[in-house]
Structure formats: structure tokens, C-alpha cells
Structure 1
């Protein structure tokens, strides 16, 4: 009896995915939440059709023949602002990144608890003085709130001051899933509220800073949570037009805290990853042009699959440098140009360098890209 019920449910799920595929091919904006949920469960021929539709959409809104990337270096605030004798000055790390060809510094994490009230602002000023032409992509919403609290100023005032000091954009990480119950479970009851994240992001957009948008999947959320999260991001984008790209990333088992033991401690499947990226492309069509794969969190083969299924951007090369490779949050994870060329060739495209804002870099900042090997 149980087996017959399972077979009946599976058959119904396939029918629902097929019906949703017909609708999404005609008009993605018309799909209901139930239909998007059905597509998130697609497998087999339905998954292949979904990914093909997502990639057709990608080709309509971005350069169809390229995979874009940015040359950047990630720095961990807690490392570079600690003032330890064994840590090079942030100016030296930034100068090295500039000499290696970076166009972006990405800085995330809080300053130490004993930092001066304007510690975030001082760090921005130091980086900007060291390399005025380097784009500074820094401080997630929780850190922006912390900076404003320490300086005892409204969030928008801090962001204006930070912008004038050299801040170029804000990482839209720490979004997780924009649902308070999910965030509470992920954070062990200590997660900031959804409205806090939205407040900071919209304040940043309001003072002329752009940001990324993110979705973390593969933990305690359901497909319906994923759909609601993507819809909320598109609503914010409709109001502000301040998101530069959407980055979809899985939770890694190593990042699941003890309170998530047995819940978020298994690697997400290739099927789910492909479906999530394809749905993200189609559901946000008309609001987000750029969809980025989190290559540091996925196997190479899966990265190639999602690049064939709606993704146009591979993010940063993540330079480590020689002075202190462990200064970055993604230390040891470097995507070099040869790797990038190979990945692009395997999906039938060529690499194209971009800036953080998805414009063309100055000619003197372009990295040398070898001839694509077919």
C-alpha cells in the first residue's frame, strides 16, 4: 500500500512539473508558487527541460557566449583589523592585490570588539588610500548595523559616510533564507530578523551603493521557502534596482552548527542544485540579469552543469597572494585563469573579465586569458 501511494505521488509530481514547464516556457511571470515548487522538484527529462529553458533565458539577457568573472581578493575583517604582529598591514595586502591584477577587495566580518567606535570607517579609509582605484565591496548587513551602532548614528548616515570614504558596494550575504522561522532555526534562536537585513540593503541602495543578493539553500528550508525568498528579492529589486547580481549557494555540512546536527549536515544533491539555479534564473527574469555560481562550494562538474542551466557568472578568482594567504575567508580556494578557461570551454563559452559592477575593466587591468582549448 505504501509503495503504491509513493508511486502515485511521484507520478503526480512529474505531471505537475510538466504542466509548470509548459507555463514557464510561455510566461515565467505568470507562474504560481505551487508551480515554482513543482519545478524545484523536477528530475529526469523535466529537469533537463527546465535547465534548457533557464539557459535560453540567460542567453537573452547576457552575452550568450561568455562566462564572466572578476579578479578580486577576499579579506577577513577579523584578521586584518586585529593589529597582530604576525599580520601584515592591510595596506600591504591591498597593494599586493592591486599588483596582482585585482579590481576588487571583498571584506567581510566584524571588527574586533575592542576596536574604536569608528573602526569600520577607519578600515575603509585605509584601504581606499592604499589603492584608490580598487573597488571596495565590504561589510554585510549585520556588520553595517554594528558599525552604525558603534558610531551611534542611523544606518543610512553611516553608509553615506562610508560611501564618501571609499566604500563601493555591500555584500548581500547573511540573507540565508528571508524567513524569520528558518533564520531562527539556522541561528539557534539568535539570528537577526528579516526586516533588519532588508533595512540595511534598502538603505545602502538608497544612498547610491549597490549590493549583491544571495540565497543559501540545502538546510532547514523547504522549496516553498526558496520561492518566497526569491520573490522577496525581486520585490526589493523592483523598488530599488540596487542589486547587481544574485548568488545562489548551498550550505556546506562543515558550516552547520551543532544545533543542526542531523538536519543540515548532508551535501545537497546535484539535482537540487541544478533545479534551484534554473528556477532562480527564471523566477527573477526581468529583475536580475546576472546569476552567479558559488564555485567554492560546489564540485567542478556541478559548476559546469549550472553554467549550462542559466548561470552566466562564476564570481571571483580569489587571489590569495604571498604576504598572508590565510587573510581571506576563502583562503586556499583559488580559481586560476587556466582553470577558468577550461571550465568555460567545457560549457562552450569563453571567459570575459568584468568589474564588480559588471562593466568592462580598464585595459590596463585586464588579465591575460589564454586561447580557449576546444
Structure 2
């Protein structure tokens, strides 16, 4: 660290980075200074050091599929190219047999360890649809973890059932839901949500449902979708809300920052966002995420889905420790024409080995399965 220490001394964020090396996480005003700083490489050196201190020269990944069970949605988010209105010609909802076939094929071909279940806000689906799907997966594929449903989907089910979100979570857990993804957070500031997703749940509702999820024993991931209409203060607020909830519940296993991809979305059509933010901003967000959550949320994902393999390799050196999943069958981001939105485990393993890291295949709960 001697060379890094020397560089830190000359930096305008010297005090923040020195505090991070002493185990003191940045406060809100520090996060704002990090976001305003151009010293991305130095942030990465410190964040990478903190990550290696915890995980060594090792990165993990999960063999998984994304099961986009329906594209029917009444939320009309401007950042989404996937959804279709009820009754649209190309709308769909998978049957239980369809779901079983997809999971079985993926397990037989790829030995998946996780199915990530996400779809639209479909008002015609009752809770039994989800319960039947989760029970079937857990009974027939016991090695496959069920990681599913955003907080906004939980809210939709509660509205359909005229029930509380906590009751819905309890029933889904009983049926086999094991963890919940962070989708629906976007940026946890309502002034942003009013522009990009006015019909979706509020920031407070996202936090409340995540809190309830953790309280009934369903851990999860936290996410942030940046690079649209938010400003640095909004990002600080997002980080601060995640920190506060994690300090209360310790229910987040991972944090995943990813950049908005505008192609084929209303936000691009309306001229709100013309293009994505690019690689430097990804590395900055990865590095800041590690600094903010060091010792609080263990895992930071590399975000290859919207940034590609090369940037994900760099992200592993800027504070990320997990490559993410293979994401076989992903349909949401692919609707933006972003790039290939699935990888085989071999491609991920090779990519991690190329930067001199050891590879650990993990399960749904970040437990190691095997070293590759």
C-alpha cells in the first residue's frame, strides 16, 4: 500500500480514503465529495484493497437463469423497453408447465443454482400463481435457490389480494421464496421516481417492503440504477437509505449498481436521456459502493450485464468481489439491444482467470460450491 498511500496524500479526497483504510465508512457529505471527485483510479485502489483484504484474489459467480414470467405490466416505466400493456398482441404469461420446463432444461444443461424470477406488474395474477411456481421449483429442484420478485411486484400482489405486503411475503416464504432482488429501487428519491416511474411504488414503500422482507427472514440484494435524471445528491440519499436499513436489519447480502440503458425506452424517445454513462462512471460507482458498504454489505457485484465483460473485469479490481450470474434467458435488458445479455459459466470463469483471480462458484446465499 506504500505507493497508494503516497498517492492518497496528494488527493482532494485524501481524508475520506484514509478513513476508509482505518475502517471508517464515508458519511453523506463524504459520499458527495467522492461523487464530485475525478480521482476514480485512486478510489479504485483503496476499494480494491478493501475488497482483497476481505476476499483475497478471488471472485465469485452464480450459475443462474432469469425467469421473466410475464411482460404484462400496468406501471409504464419510462426506462423499460420490456413491458407490454394487458391485451397487447405480444404480451405473455408463462404457465406452471412453461416454468418447470425452463428450470429443468437449465438445470440439466447448466446445473443452475439460482432462478431469478422477475416480471411485470400483472393485475390478473393472484398469489397462488407465485406460490405454485415457488413450491414446484423447491420440490423438484432442491439445489436451485428461488431469488425473486421486486418490492414493486410484491406490492402489486398485495393490491390484487387486498392484503398487506408483510402477509404476502410470509406466504411466499412459506411457498419457497428464499431471497428478494433489489429491483424497483432505481434511485430512492421520489423527485426522480416521479419522472422515470410515476406509477411505481415510492422510495419509502420500497424501504418498508424490504424491511418487512428481512423481518420475516427473507434476505436480499440492494440495487441502484444510475445514469438518467438523478443528480449526485439523489445518489447520496440512495446510499444513505440503504445504509440506514442495513444497519437496522442486516438483511442485504449484496449491492449492485448498474447504469441505465436508454435504447428503445420512452426516456430516449422523449429526449430525456440519449445514451448510457459508460465505463468510467461504472468504476466510480463500484469503488464508492465498496467504500460506503465496507463491513456492512459484504458483496458488491460487477454489473457486467449493462457494461460488458471487460468493464466487469476492471470492476473486480475497483472493489467488486462478485461477477454476478450467467443470466441465461434474460429478456428485460436485451429489449434495449444493449448487448448479449447472457453468459455461460465458462466465459465468466475465463474472464476472471484472465485477470489473475481465483474463481468460486456460489449458491443463492453466496456460499461457495466449488473452486474453479
TM-score of the pair, normalised by structure 1: 0.82
CA distance in 1, matches of 2:27, 2:202: 26
Structure 1 residues 151 and 50: CA distance shift in structure 2, 3 A:
same
Q: 1:33 aligns with which of 28, 35, 54?
A: 28
Pairwise mapping of residues 70-149 of structure 1 onto structure 2 (< 5 A)?
70-78=62-70, 82=92, 89-100=98-109, 101-110=111-120, 112-116=122-126, 118-149=128-159
CA distance in 2, matches of 1:182, 1:79: 24
Q: Residue 289 in 1 paired to residue 298 in 2?
A: yes
Deviation at 1:318, TM superposition (A): 2.0
- 8 Å Cα contact 1:175/1:214 also seen in 2: yes
Structure 1 residues 133 and 35: CA distance shift in structure 2, 3 A:
closer
Structure 1 residues 247 and 258: CA distance shift in structure 2, 3 A:
closer
CA distance in 2, matches of 1:280, 1:260: 31
Deviation at 1:169, TM superposition (A): 0.9
Deviation at 1:230, TM superposition (A): 1.1
Equivalent residue, structure 2, for 1:234: 243
- 8 Å Cα contact 1:58/1:310 also seen in 2: yes
Structure 1 residues 148 and 55: CA distance shift in structure 2, 3 A:
same
Once the two structures are superposed, residues 40-98 of structure 1 have per-residue CA deviations (whole angstroms, 9 ceiling, x without a partner) of: 2333xx3221100001111222x21211000111111216994679x962111111122
2:222 is paired with a residue whose SS is strand
Equivalent residue, structure 1, for 2:328: 319
CA distance in 2, matches of 1:36, 1:193: 23
- 8 Å Cα contact 2:70/2:93 also seen in 1: no
Once the two structures are superposed, residues 179-227 of structure 1 have per-residue CA deviations (whole angstroms, 9 ceiling, x without a partner) of: 111111112x333211111111111111111111101111111122212
Structure 1 stretch displaced more, 225-234 or 169-178:
225-234
Deviation at 1:270, TM superposition (A): 2.3
Name the count of aligned residue pairs. Answer: 339
Q: 1:163 aligns with which of 173, 177, 196?
A: 173
Equivalent residue, structure 2, for 1:59: 52
Q: Residue 213 in 1 paired to residue 198 in 2?
A: no
CA distance in 2, matches of 1:254, 1:278: 26
Equivalent residue, structure 1, for 2:271: 262
Equivalent residue, structure 2, for 1:42: 37
CA distance in 1, matches of 2:366, 2:264: 30
- 8 Å Cα contact 1:252/1:265 also seen in 2: no
Structure 1 residues 117 and 205: CA distance shift in structure 2, 3 A:
closer
| Aligned residues: CA RMSD | 2.6
Unaligned runs of 5+ in 1: 1-13, 321-326, 370-374
Q: 1:152 aligns with which of 162, 165, 175?
A: 162
2:125 is paired with a residue whose SS is coil
Q: Residue 174 in 1 paired to residue 184 in 2?
A: yes
- 8 Å Cα contact 1:217/1:250 also seen in 2: yes
Q: 1:358 aligns with which of 350, 355, 366?
A: 366
2:135 is paired with a residue whose SS is helix
Q: 2:233 aligns with which of 224, 228, 232?
A: 224
- 8 Å Cα contact 1:118/1:150 also seen in 2: no
Unaligned runs of 5+ in 2: 1-9, 73-90, 335-339
2:166 is paired with a residue whose SS is helix
2:284 is paired with a residue whose SS is helix
- 8 Å Cα contact 1:186/1:260 also seen in 2: no
CA distance in 2, matches of 1:267, 1:328: 19
